[in-house]
Structure 1
C-alpha cells in the first residue's frame, strides 16, 4: 500500500475525534491507580516455585503486556505444553476499584498512536506481566498433545515462573525456542485439517506511523513463528473448554458460519480482487489455500473475517454444546487475561476444576453477565479499528478526487450498492440504481473527507 502523506495532521485530528466519538477510555481514575499500585506490591503466597523451568515469551517486539510464557517437554509420544498465563486475579480484588474499572472497559483498545489498556500499566506492563528478569506469579496450564494433535488438560497450578527470554515474532531463532515448538504446532494444524476447521488468521489491516506526519495503510501478515505461537493458545483454549464442559461450568467463545448471502458477496469480492476461487470449492476449503503474503489474497482473507457473523460469548448451558465454527470445536478464551476481562474468570474456573475445588461464587456469578459486557466492549473495539482504517483510507485518497477506479459490486442492500475497489483493499458505497451484484463498475471518487471519515463515489 502507498504511504499516506498527512501534512495537515488529519490523522491526529481524526484519531482524537475517534476517541471522543466512541468514548475510548483515557487515563485511569486516581483511586484505580492507587489500588493498582498497592496490588503491585502484593507478594505471591499461594504459588509453587517453578523458576527452574525455562519459560519463554513470544510476542511483537514492542509488547510489554505479556500474557503467556511457555515450555514444552516430551512424555512418550505426547508433548506436554506448560502454558504460564499471567495471574491477573492475584492482583485484582473482586469488587475493588481496579475490578470495577475493568468491567467498565472490557478489553484493551488499540489505535495507531497508542492503546487504552484494560488494567493500569503498573499491572499490565509491570507486576502482572510475564516480563523477563524478576520472577512473576502465573497460572500454569499443562496441556497434553498426542501424536494426532488431540488435546487434554492435565493440570493447572499457581506458580512462580521466570521468563528466560522475551522473543519477538520477526527475530526469534529456532535455537531460542523449545525444541518441539514446531512439532506441537504441526500436530495442532493436522488435527484442525481433520476436523475441517476453517481457522485461517488473516493479516491485520493497520495504520502504521512512519514519522514526520506520514503514515502507511498496510497489511501485517502473520509470520510463521506467530502462526505456530497461535497454535499454543488454540491447544490450551480447546483443552480448557473441554475441561469446563465436563464440569458443567465455564464461559465459551462461539461463532456461526457465514450465510448464503455472505458467501455470494464473497464470490463477488474475490472477482474484484482478482483471486481465483474455483466455483466448485467451498469457502472453508478455499480459505485454507490462501497465502497471507499475497496482498490480494490478504485482502480477501480480511473480507472473509468481516463476512461471517461476529463471535460471541456464551456461559455453560445444560444440553447445549458451545461451538465455534472456525475452530470446528468447543473453544474458550483463557490466554489473554491482561487484555480481555472474560479470560480472568475462565482462568479462575479452570484452576478450580483442575484441582477438584468448587468454582468461586464470584466467578459463577460473573459468567452470565460477561457476554453482554464483552459484546459491548468487542463492538466498541471493532468500531474503533474500523474507524481508524476508514480515516486512513480517506487521508490516502484525499487529493485523488475526480479520478476513476475499477470496482465490482459485491452486494446490494437498502443503503445502496457495496463495491470493492480492484486496486485497493477499500470497500465503499455507490448508487445502486440499475446495477447487479457481481457487476463490474467504473466509479469516480467524488470526495474523500478525513474529518468525516467518508468516501463518496459516483458511477463513472
Structure 2
C-alpha cells in the first residue's frame, strides 16, 4: 500500500472521544508503535532556528528550470529535475534537498532523527522524520522558492548510459510543482514541454538498460487509502502510472552514480540485496508452469516478472509468489576498503540511497559522502562515525513502517467490511501456505487471509467471518 498517495492527511488527527472506531484504531496503532506526532521541544527549537539562519550556497543555479514530480498534495519535496538533450545524448540535473545544512551533528534534532529513521505515512497523518518547518517549508524544494540543494549533474549517452557525473551544493529554484497524473496526461497528449517529455525518453532507455543488466521490478498492485466525501475511508487498487516508473528511473540513476563515487573512495553506505538463490528461481518457475503461464527457458526472471499483467488473476498469483525472490535487502557501510557484497539484485548494480533525505535518514549521510568525494574534499568524521550505526537504525524503522502499513490496511479493510460479516464474496487465491490461503476479492481492493485450501490462481468463494477494526483483523473462510 502506498500511503504517500493519501487525500490530505492531517498533522492533528482525531483521537479523542469524538473519533470514530477507525480513527481510534489508527491512534492505538501509533501508540503501540511509539510513533509520536509531537517533536521534542529542543529538536523543534533547533529546526526553527536553522530555518531562519542557514545561509544558501554561493553557487547560483536558480536560472536552471528545475521541476518536481510527486503525489498530488505532497509538501515534503526531496527532488527536482532538469532534463535536456546533450548532443546525441542527455543531461540530467537532479537537485536533492540540502538537509545536512539544517541538522547540526550531535544536536537535539540529529538525535531525534536518528530515533525516527524515516517519515512514516498513515491514512490520517504522517509521522515526519523532520519537523514540518523544515520538511514542508524551509528545506522542501517548493516551486518559486530559493533553496539549498545537492545538485547531481549526470551525462548520458544516446542509449541512456551514464558517462560522467558530479555532485555539488548550489542554490536552486523549482519552476513547477507537478504531480504524476498531470505529467502523464501531458506526455500522452503531446502537450508536455521537451524537458518533461524527455522523462519518458530517458525513463524508457533506463528501463531497457535495467532489463539488459538482469534487474527486476516487482509490479505489486498498490492498495490506496483515501477519504470519501462523507469522511469515511475506502480502499482501491491504484495502478502505477508509467510516469512514476520513469521518475523512479531518474532516482535509480542517481543512486547508482552515488554508489560508484562511494566505491571509488572506499567509503560510504550501499543499499544491497543478494541475488535470489537458484532453488528459489526454480521454485518460481515451477509455480509458473503449474499456473500454465509460459516462461521461455532462455528468459531471465526479471524479464518474465516485468511482463506479468496485474489485472490477470493468474499473473497476480505469480506476482505475490515472486516476493520470495526479493529478500535480504539491507544497508552495507564501509570505510577503508570496498565491501565484498556491493550489488542490489533488483537494480542489478551497486546502488545507494541519496535522493530522499527529507524522508529517510541514511540519505543525509550518503549525500555528504558523495559531495565530498566528487569535490575532492574530506568526508567529515561525524559521517564516518555514523556509518556503522545506520543499518540497525534503518532496519528497525523499516520494520516499524511495515507494521504501520499492514496495521492500517487491515484496519481500513475491517472498517470497509464490518457491516458485511457473514457475506460471501468472489475472490482469487493469490498465495498459499501451511496456515491457509491469501485471497484477493474481485469487487473490493481487499487482500486477506482465508481458512481453507485451494490452488493459487483459482477463483473461489470466500465467506467473511471476522472484521475487527480494533484488532486490525479481517478473516475469511473458503465457501
TM-score by length of 2: 0.84
Matches within 5 A, 1:297-446: 303=320, 306-307=323-324, 308-316=326-334, 318-405=338-425, 406=427, 408=429, 410-413=431-434, 416-421=435-440, 423=442, 425-430=446-451, 443-446=462-465
Alpha carbons of structure 1 residues 158 and 279: separation in structure 2 relative to 1, 3 Å: closer
What is the SS of the residue equivalent to 1:41? helix
Alpha carbons of structure 1 residues 459 and 450: separation in structure 2 relative to 1, 3 Å: same
Query: How far apart are the structure 2 equivalents of 1:261 and 1:440?
Result: 26
Residue in 2 aligned with 1:455? 474
Alpha carbons of structure 1 residues 176 and 26: separation in structure 2 relative to 1, 3 Å: farther
Query: How far apart are the structure 2 equivalents of 1:426 and 1:409?
Result: 9
What is the SS of the residue equivalent to 2:94? strand
Residue in 1 aligned with 2:15? none
Q: What is the deviation of 1:333? A: 0.5
Alpha carbons of structure 1 residues 166 and 457: separation in structure 2 relative to 1, 3 Å: closer
Query: How far apart are the structure 2 equivalents of 1:8 and 1:34?
Result: 31
Structure 1 residue ranges without an equivalent (≥5): 1-6
Structure 2 residue ranges without an equivalent (≥5): 1-17, 187-191
Residue in 2 aligned with 1:170? 181
Query: How far apart are the structure 2 equivalents of 1:391 and 1:314?
Result: 35
Match for 1:277 among 288, 293, 297? 293
Residue in 1 aligned with 2:305? 287
Residue in 1 aligned with 2:12? none
Query: How far apart are the structure 1 equivalents of 2:450 and 2:166?
Result: 52
Alpha carbons of structure 1 residues 85 and 440: separation in structure 2 relative to 1, 3 Å: closer
Deviates more, 1:201-210 or 1:107-116: 201-210
What is the SS of the residue equivalent to 1:359? coil
Query: How far apart are the structure 2 equivalents of 1:410 and 1:263?
Result: 17
Residue in 2 aligned with 1:181? 199
What is the SS of the residue equivalent to 1:391? helix
Query: How far apart are the structure 1 equivalents of 2:300 and 2:472?
Result: 35
TM-score by length of 1: 0.88
Q: What is the deviation of 1:73? A: 2.8
Residue in 2 aligned with 1:52? 63
Alpha carbons of structure 1 residues 207 and 327: separation in structure 2 relative to 1, 3 Å: same
CA RMSD of aligned residues (A): 3.0
Match for 1:133 among 135, 144, 148? 144
Q: Is the 8 A contact 1:169 1:226 kept in 2?
A: yes
1:20-59, CA deviations, whole angstroms, 9 ceiling, x for partnerless residues?
Answer: 1111121111111111110001242544011121111111
Query: How far apart are the structure 1 equivalents of 2:456 and 2:242?
Result: 36
Q: What is the deviation of 1:262? A: 8.9
